[in-house]
Amino acid sequence: MAYAQIVGWGMHVPSRVVGNDTFVKMGLDTTHDWIVSRTGIEERRIAGKDEATSDLAVRAARRALNVAGAHASEIDLVIVATCTPDHLMPATASLVQNRIGATHAGAMDLNAACSGFVYALAMGAGQIEASRAKQVLVIGADELSIYLDRRDRSTSVLFGDGAGAVVLRAAPEPGVLYSTMGSDGSGADLLIIPAGGSRIRNNGKSNGRGNGDRYLRMNGPQIFRSATQIMAQAAEKVIANSGLKPDQVDLLIPHQANLRIIESTARRLGIPAQKVFSNVGQYGNTSAASIPIALCEAIGTGRVKRGHNVVLTSFGAGLSWAALTLRWGVNVDAHVAPWTPIRQSVETQVAAMRSALRRQGRRVGATISERLHRDDS
């Protein structure tokens, strides 16, 4: 059988850095020390007004393709894990697929909130293991900052924006060892953006409601208790089913929601702090982007080596959770060929031209059809 191995990785975060003192200056009843003591977060990145989720995803995807030495046209499937799509439809993945020139790829979005990337990684690996795909581009990207009530200190200080991506490729040796996914919909109201769908329409203004329903709402204490238990349980399951013991885990990368949750998860698993990666202090909770961003930074700082056993575990709205074990199978110090960025730049320009020509062709075709129909009448 084929195995799925990560061969490329990339991340992108907005340039705007927002420190904790910004919230104090805005008049929020908080302090830098309070935020750090409760969450471990010191700053986060916030997207600009003209930066959509797809913009972040495209930049991360291009970097992952560069590292993999892959042409976008070789990708069979693009999966974007996000709960903040550019539009309700079409899928953000379709926008990404078009912009990077993945002309032979299917494209779909996956919404499992903060668990989304691990869900998407498991699904992409499944396509490769079933021999339905040879290369899959998996992206986690979110901009939850646009759904935050800046007057609510329980949520506004927690979230940031960003994107991370990996390229999965068929390989003869195991890469993704085991994965698990789960959900408990009875807790769906604990972390929710009520408006924008078919239940509460018109951005929360229908049925006499105020537009406060467009903001993210969270029951912090209950989410904290659930996350610390379930992330550890999910990680235990994938470690055991991969034939490993906790002391054989070289690196644990949990969802970056809160430093106390990360530390509690590691303690429950019996994994020492030096084998746990965290960057929540620099980026906050970037939802589906948090694990791929952390993975990229772990690789960049030498924390991931060929042959390492890496565990990813996540928890999010839904309530959803997912965990996955990886046996890292590629060298991480390989240099990108100097011509790769040039080739990718050309591919990007060709993709943009192709897209523009197709749109123009549809407009011309529609005009001709309309005139023929009018002449026939």
- Chain-centroid distance of CA 346 in Å reads 27
Choice among 20, 66, 258, 285 that is catalytic: 285
Distance CA 165, CA 367 (A): 40
Asked if residues 82 and 111 have their Cβ atoms less than 8 Å apart, the reply is: yes
In 149-215, alpha helices (H): 153-156
- Chain-centroid distance of CA 138 in Å reads 8
114 is catalytic: yes
Alpha-carbon separation of residue 356 from 112, 122, 175, 346 (angstroms) = 33, 34, 39, 15
Q: Which two tokens stand for residue 371?
A: 């005139």
Asked if residues 59 and 348 have their Cβ atoms less than 8 Å apart, the reply is: no
For residue 131, count other CB atoms closer than 10 A to its CB: 10
CA 114, 57, 43, 23 dihedral sign is: negative
Choice among 255, 279, 296, 309 that is catalytic: 255
Amino acid residing at 344: Q
Q: Residues in the chain, how many? A: 377
Choice among 114, 279, 296, 309 that is catalytic: 114
308 is catalytic: no
Distance CA 356, CA 24 (A): 46
Which residue shows structure tokens 């100097």?
338
Instruction: List the catalytic residues.
Output: 114, 255, 285
